Structure 1
């Protein structure tokens, strides 16, 4: 289901790019699935799993027969000289020298051979093979951890885009509200019912609100670029978010999350696998004290001739072969193996200490994340109430001003308070979403719901 959804998403993105000038409409889940497939971190993690599988094949090949062929054709421009003593019965009395030079060999020689070797016993090989297979498990856990990190970053970046979209909407609403008030005040000034300073005050407020709109738009563009980077999406494409903050922040889901006890964390799997690899390394170094036994054999056909044309004559070629078993027995290595074994034991102790600390830190992380989310939910309720009150105060101040029983300064103050309440509410909403992501990470459920 996950792969089919991703395929449909790619088709949808491609279709959108053609039809809507490279604009991709995305939901949160679509953004996450796209990022898992395209973010460079997860791409490299998947490649690492393939590398580990290739390492298993490479290690397995060491225990298989090793067969090599060879061929050579040699030419001796000057045949090497061998010196013989000039003594009877082969000496030459007429030669005053005490040695006689002799050339043994021919100008041309050739050989064709094949060597075979097979490991019979090597305790370290089987340990290394098990360690290589364990390494593939570690890379699988590393991939899950990489995907979790990508999901966390994409969610936070996605929420940042949503918050900035909402900030633009509120800022534009504020601008429209202040523009309406400005037009009304100008009309009252022209009719003689308002002073010029009243218009100037509102114009200042209008300029500040306009600046807020522009800053919100800039922040929105920056947050979209950040989301595309986290997703691994080309920066030339544009994105359109089809969800709202309210869609992604239902109160019942947050309350259910607070009651969740959490799942098994992949970080613990990673650490357990690292301990297992160190234990294999310890066994590997211990096995170096054991002898190794190998089978070796070769077969060779050799030929020679004084002329190149006679080198390959059948009568000049002869065969030779060898079969043997070799045993290597380690005797003394300066205590290097003993030092490596000690290092392995110390490293295992370090990892076990880290595992003990990790279990406690996970519990503390869950406790802290739940406390932060509860606090953010309380703040969100307060800021929502403040927003409603600020809106009510502004509406009353505006009505009083329109009816001539209030001042425009009161309206401006109320508008500023309403704008501040909106900003505080959005900040509280964003903090709540970030705390939700942090709690999902602490509980180990960042990708729950994406596998279906």
Structure 2
């Protein structure tokens, strides 16, 4: 018995120690309190897509430097030492004046070279004329401008996704508040009905009917809590927020959507869209590619120069004697003239011209599509605002019906079923109202995107 007690004490201590270790290993949550503007600013700095877009701009800057470097002098140095285990032999005729009468052979072998040789020098090349160089340099700068527009497009997408996720968190938070209020109301009704049943004034079926309604309301609360947690995790992913951080939103839905702002948004005309900048820049790049391929027909002129010191010795130690080293140099100009390449340049030029036609078609389609996006977004927002007003009125009426039904029931002139039905209608109207509210928020974001004003108010 004593051993069993000792064993239980040891197990208890181990469990306490283990729980302490786990508590130490689990990092505490860091809480960020953010409003919408701060949330968007954080996302633009930390979202992976946004960070990659900024890195792409930096890559384009290195491309400009790389293209510029090809037009600057290219200098290379070289140093080498060679060892010939078997020196090449050449044969000379055994004839006067170099012949050897004592040698019966008709040829005389002569060693052509020495065992060791070395060289050191440098070469210089400088482009004098290349029509494609300046076109390529301009294309690199244009490509950098394209990456800047791509960055803006990515940031717009990030803002759109973050706003929708942010509004989802707020709506789910409101859904939790309503579910808790509904649960508290039905619990109060259930307690009253049980008391009446115990006193003999109501039947057991009335208690069961309210209990069913209470169970349904509790299930809705659990669903709301789950939806809130999921929406918050989605927002954290969009923000690029580490897992050991939590978010507390410091705004309410009413603060984010004043009616005058919505009216001004509906009256606004389409502004500047970065998609048009992207397609115009692609047009410019294709035109530059056409010029580049056309310039390939022109000759290129390059300056070439080299300087070399060469030495040799029959032994390794004599290789480095200064008397065995000699200098040589060369300066020249080279012109390369393209004559025939199998019509490959012609095919590339033809392809560029077709690509220009494709981009012009895309530009026309984009203009039409932007106008349609703005029209649809305005119609959707206007309709959603009307539906939202109707759902708000329905919710207020449902609340009024419930209050009247509850008063009638308390005074004994109404039925329990009437109260339960009124409560169910009130909960349904609240769910419909929150759904309409979220639809309106999403439509607002879609309209901001269509008008090109998603980044308004941000310092980016």
Length-normalised TM-score, structure 1: 0.94
Counterpart of 1:224 (choices 220, 229, 232) is 232
Q: SS at 1:293's partner residue?
A: strand
- In structure 1, the partner of 2:127 is 119
Counterpart of 2:294 (choices 278, 286, 290) is 286
- In structure 1, the partner of 2:35 is 27
- In structure 2, the partner of 1:321 is 329
Displacement of 1:244 in angstroms is 1.3
Q: SS at 2:244's partner residue?
A: coil
Q: Deviations over 1:176-214 (max 9, x none)?
A: 000000000001111111110000000010011001000
Verify: 1:264 aligned to 2:268, yes or no. Answer: no
Displacement of 1:262 in angstroms is 2.2
Q: CA–CA distance in 1 between the matches of 2:205 and 2:397? A: 28
Displacement of 1:240 in angstroms is 1.1
Counterpart of 2:399 (choices 367, 391, 403) is 391
Verify: 1:432 aligned to 2:440, yes or no. Answer: yes
Q: CA–CA distance in 2 between the matches of 1:237 and 1:99? A: 92
Counterpart of 2:263 (choices 252, 255, 275) is 255
Q: SS at 1:290's partner residue?
A: coil
Displacement of 1:99 in angstroms is 4.3
Displacement of 1:88 in angstroms is 5.1
- In structure 2, the partner of 1:166 is 174
Q: CA–CA distance in 2 between the matches of 1:93 and 1:330? A: 58
Counterpart of 1:236 (choices 232, 244, 252) is 244
- In structure 1, the partner of 2:89 is 81
- In structure 2, the partner of 1:38 is 46
- In structure 2, the partner of 1:60 is 68
- In structure 1, the partner of 2:8 is none
Q: Deviations over 1:306-348 (max 9, x none)?
A: 1111111111111100000000000000000000000000001
Q: CA–CA distance in 2 between the matches of 1:443 and 1:386? A: 32
Q: CA–CA distance in 2 between the matches of 1:97 and 1:190? A: 140
Q: SS at 1:447's partner residue?
A: coil
Displacement of 1:94 in angstroms is 5.9
Give unmatched runs, 5+ long, in structure 1: 1-18
Q: CA–CA distance in 1 between the matches of 2:218 and 2:76? A: 79
Verify: 1:444 aligned to 2:460, yes or no. Answer: no
Displacement of 1:85 in angstroms is 4.1
Counterpart of 1:372 (choices 355, 376, 380) is 380
Counterpart of 1:346 (choices 344, 348, 354) is 354
Q: CA–CA distance in 2 between the matches of 1:82 and 1:384? A: 107
Q: CA–CA distance in 2 between the matches of 1:83 and 1:443? A: 88
Displacement of 1:91 in angstroms is 4.4
- In structure 2, the partner of 1:415 is 423
Q: SS at 2:320's partner residue?
A: coil
Verify: 1:403 aligned to 2:411, yes or no. Answer: yes
Displacement of 1:390 in angstroms is 0.2
Q: CA–CA distance in 2 between the matches of 1:381 and 1:402? A: 32
- In structure 2, the partner of 1:363 is 371
Q: SS at 2:254's partner residue?
A: coil
- In structure 2, the partner of 1:154 is 162
Q: Deviations over 1:64-90 (max 9, x none)?
A: 001111111111111112233455554
Q: CA–CA distance in 2 between the matches of 1:239 and 1:302? A: 73
Displacement of 1:451 in angstroms is 2.2
Q: CA–CA distance in 1 between the matches of 2:133 and 2:54? A: 27
Q: CA–CA distance in 2 between the matches of 1:341 and 1:269? A: 24
Length-normalised TM-score, structure 2: 0.92
Give unmatched runs, 5+ long, in structure 2: 1-26
Q: 1:351 to 1:326 in 2, by over 3 A?
A: same
